[in-house]
Amino acid sequence: MTSPETLNYFKTHKAELQAAKQSMLQQRSANSKGNIPSAQDVYIKVHAIRYSNGSGGLRAYDLEKAFQNLNNMFDGALVNFILYEGVDYIDDSDLMQFEKGDEKTLLENHYIPGVLNVYFAEYLTNSSKSSICGYSDNTDNRDIIVVKNSCSINDSTLAHEIGHILSLVHTHGVSNTQLTTELVDGSNCDTDGDGICDTPADPGLSSDNVDNFCNYTGSATDANGDTFNPDTSNMMSYSLKACRTYFSKEQIIRMYTYFTLEKNRFTQPGVVPEIVIEEEDYDKDSLTAVKLFPNPVQNGNIYLSSTKIETAINFKIVNLQGQALANGYVENNEINVNRLPAGSYILQLQNGNSTVIRRFVK
């Protein structure tokens, strides 16, 4: 699932993503092992839904195999997936027939911030009651995946959904119903389709145009009249699940770039992402005690929590590119951020010679 938040992120950070991509391409082309960053650990909290009596649910063997397959699939992507603190078993027969959207009822008691939360259900349907293998959702600054138990070991469903979480779009583009505007000749590959140039234009794959040998059998043409020649093996396509076997080089680079920018979303179990940077000269009795709440923001306001604020505080809000979006004085320990679009932001607070920086999400 490509959420509005993800699309907004692409637009906001396109220059940053492009620069990082070029840097990594140069590092890899240099063929110097010393230039390649080391793999980073990504924590996954697994939630397994069972019947109320504790029976059923994802088998331990299948979970182990799913992690093995996942790390094999992401080999070379510079991330390593690790199970966080065992399995959270949810014994509720009503959830065995899981419908897309039901995860919202689990967030209060069965969700851990700072990691990727994956829920496994016996049966899974979309809002139209059609059976599906899985879906992902990163709205409201949460990173959630739901997978049907029988699809946990098909080698591609979980990897495909994690691709979405790590910023990838389907190779056929944002829409699942309209023909891609990406041209076969690649002339608009960086702006249309999935915005990645080493994945060929994709008219939308399915069992209708991919045979059991993973051959494309369609005849669709683009706006220039050129016949599509899509990659039926790409993990982010809608090809047959058994055909999807790899991520392209630029897809891997985009995922790693996104991960490095949003690392705290996946590597800080139980902690709402926050960055703290302090200047050399600071007042230990003042701004260092400041915390922000609620984080993520609710109802358009963010509050400062500290009993040691005694003087006026200036604030400045910037996006992750450093662009200033708002500034002023903090009044009543409250800052109105209602005009900011959904996303991640840096809040700089200054009080005399003391400066701290906090990160918040909206």
Examine the domain organization and report whether 294 and 260 are in the same domain: no
Token digits for 267?
């590597």
Give the pLDDT confidence score for residue 6 in this predicted structure.
61
Mean pLDDT of the chain: 84
Examine the domain organization and report whether 355 and 255 are in the same domain: no
Give the pLDDT confidence score for residue 273 in this predicted structure.
46
Q: Angle, to 10 degrees, between the axis of helix 4-12 and the axis of helix 14-29? A: 70
Coil vs helix vs strand at 317: strand
Would residue 193 count as lying in a domain?
no
Examine the domain organization and report whether 8 and 149 are in the same domain: yes
Say which CATH number the domain at 97 has. Answer: 3.40.390.10
- pTM (predicted TM-score): 0.71
Examine the domain organization and report whether 261 and 354 are in the same domain: no
Q: Spell out the SS3 assignment of 151-165.
A: HCCCCCHHHHHHHHH
Does 352 score more than 80 pLDDT? no
Q: How many CB atoms lie within 10 A of CB 236?
A: 24
Q: Which domain holds residue 322?
A: 277-361
Does 172 score more than 80 pLDDT? yes
Would residue 326 count as lying in a domain?
yes
CA distances from 75 to 55, 86, 158, 245, 252 (A): 34, 23, 15, 12, 10
**Domain count across the chain:** 2
Taking residues 111-131, report their average pLDDT.
93
| Exposure string for 172-207, b = 16+ CB within 10 A, e = fewer | bbeeeeebbebbbeeeebeeebbbbeebbbbbbbee
Does 278 score more than 60 pLDDT? no
Name residues whose C-beta falls within 8 Å of residue 81's C-beta, 6 or more positions apart in sequence. Answer: 41, 42, 44, 67, 70, 71, 74, 162
Q: How confident is the model at residue 94 (pLDDT cuts 50, 70, 90)?
A: very high
Q: How confident is the model at residue 9 (pLDDT cuts 50, 70, 90)?
A: low
Q: How confident is the model at residue 275 (pLDDT cuts 50, 70, 90)?
A: very low
